[in-house]
Structure 1
Amino acid sequence: MTEPVKLIGAFGSPFVHRAEVALRLKGVAYELITEDLSNKSELLLRHNPVHHRVPVLLHGDKPICESLVILEYIDEAFDGPPLLPADPGERAEARFWAKFFAEKCLMSVWLALWTEGETRKLLMEDAKEHLVIVETQLKEKRFFGGAAIGLADIAGASVLSHWAGVLQEVAGITVMNDDEYPAIHRWMEDYNADEVVMECLPDREQLVSHFTAIRGKCITAGKSMLPNYLASK
């Protein structure tokens, strides 16, 4: 008997989107359980007792936490198109870029959109340095792994392609200019145009409304509000 697959997520989380894309690419049927991160459920607290963050993948009674860990688990646990290459060196390279997106590029872009003043200026400079590196890597490629979406693409394009544009509109600033980063722009367009990706992209106008409300709370309450929303990874 096939073990049921459930995904504990929250509306507007690009990290939950990562897990959804991976499951859909593999053709895995799953139930999405939507959390209210301001009032976390016992289900989330029980299955992610360390960080209390989404996403959490439940495969039968086995919980898997953190989006990049979930991506690798999905790749190994389910049949379907591989997210990682077969060659060990290419797998290592894909993991490197996934980590780069998580720890360098996305964090500086993300935080630049949620801060003000000198802090924002420094983060934007940092973000642009990392975006130049990504631009260089993508000049001769459709996706990081070649012709098909892979782990590194899900890790990076999942946030940059849909969410960054929304957050730039909400924040009233431009971190990523399409003319400045044409290879990244083409990569993001190809990612968003994929049928599987489109199936689980949240409505843009709903995202704008969602983040506008959250940004207002962040500005009113100060930085203390930021980690609460970033209870996703």
Structure 2
Amino acid sequence: MAGIEEVELLGSVGSPFVIKVQIALKLKGIEYKYVEEKLGNLSETLLNHNPVYRMVPVLVHNGKPISESRVILEYIDETWKLNPILHSDPYKRALDRFWSKFIDDKCVVPAAKTIFIPDENEQEKAREELFDALQFLENELKDKFFGGEEIGFVDIAALFIPLFQEVAEKQLFTSDKFPKLHKWSQDFYNHPVVKEIMPSKEQQYAYFKARAASLAAASK
């Protein structure tokens, strides 16, 4: 069924938000066309599909665009039932949404600051914020993955953790402080789907540099 549908993903290599969508599509076995967008010079197609946020990713399914990675992940899971990434139980599904939002709100920004902000005082403050958030995730992780024995919605949201660990010149956290998260990050990165999709460290770093330059230009 998926093979005869029109599925297109507008993205940029190295974008963690795009990687999340690619992992979900791959886990579901959905065939799609990938269209590369250049940060700072987005196509008219992208701008027409996502005029509000004007950024990747955008999933276009049978001509209908869906924006924002968390929204796209839920759409994918609701549209293609095979290999679900959200729990079927309403309470557990609500927890999936809660923790994925927690990661976006409490982990992503401080993690980025620890890598890309040169001010050491700001870095240290961001690192403390990140460690506080990671401790909550450390306590929440009960199985091999947040989704159980298989990758689920929260695992995909949490890819920022091993991704930033990979991009950073120094370790953001160690196995001594966060043993379960450290083991999880290794299992996640070594998952065959993730290994196939994850771009190189150089590509990831290039994306973040281009993203920062694009934001700086937009603020002038």
- TM-score scaled by structure 1? 0.85
Once the two structures are TM-superposed, the CA of residue 78 in structure 1 deviates from its matched residue by 1.1
Matches within 5 A, 1:93-112: 93-112=95-114
Greater Cα shift, 176-185 or 91-100: 176-185
Aligned mate of 1:124, from 122, 127, 147: 127
- Decide whether aligned partners of structure 1 residues 76 and 99 sit closer, same or farther in structure 2, where only a CA change above 3 A counts: same
1:154 equivalent in alignment to 2:156: yes
Instruction: Could you list the structure 1 runs, at least 4 aligned residues long, displaced by more than 4 angstroms after superposition.
Output: none
1:181 equivalent in alignment to 2:174: no
Once the two structures are TM-superposed, the CA of residue 206 in structure 1 deviates from its matched residue by 3.9
**Residue by residue, what CA displacement relative to the aligned partner does 1:171-196 show, whole Å, maximum 9, x if unpaired?**
xx442223321111111111111111
Aligned mate of 1:202, from 179, 185, 199: 199
Decide whether the 8 Å contact of 1:114 with 1:226 is kept in 2.
no
Matched to 2:193, the amino acid is V
Matched to 2:148, the amino acid is G
- Identity over the aligned pairs, expressed in percent? 39
Decide whether the 8 Å contact of 2:9 with 2:59 is kept in 1.
yes
Decide whether the 8 Å contact of 2:40 with 2:214 is kept in 1.
no
Aligned to 2:215: 227
1:142 equivalent in alignment to 2:139: no
Distance (whole Å) between structure 1 residues aligned to residue 60 and residue 214 of structure 2: 27
Aligned to 1:37: 39
Distance (whole Å) between structure 1 residues aligned to residue 51 and residue 216 of structure 2: 16
- TM-score scaled by structure 2? 0.90
Aligned to 2:115: 113
Once the two structures are TM-superposed, the CA of residue 226 in structure 1 deviates from its matched residue by 7.0
* Structure 2 gap ranges (5+): none
Aligned to 1:49: 51
Distance (whole Å) between structure 2 residues aligned to residue 40 and residue 206 of structure 1: 18
The number of residues matched between the two structures is 215
Aligned to 2:68: 66
Distance (whole Å) between structure 2 residues aligned to residue 29 and residue 70 of structure 1: 15
Distance (whole Å) between structure 1 residues aligned to residue 179 and residue 34 of structure 2: 34
Decide whether the 8 Å contact of 1:25 with 1:196 is kept in 2.
yes
* Structure 1 gap ranges (5+): 219-224
Matched to 1:38, the amino acid is G
Matched to 1:166, the amino acid is E
The root-mean-square deviation of aligned C-alpha atoms, in Å, is 2.2
Aligned to 1:191: 188
**Residue by residue, what CA displacement relative to the aligned partner does 1:62-93 show, whole Å, maximum 9, x if unpaired?**
10000000000000011310011111111011
- Decide whether aligned partners of structure 1 residues 32 and 110 sit closer, same or farther in structure 2, where only a CA change above 3 A counts: same
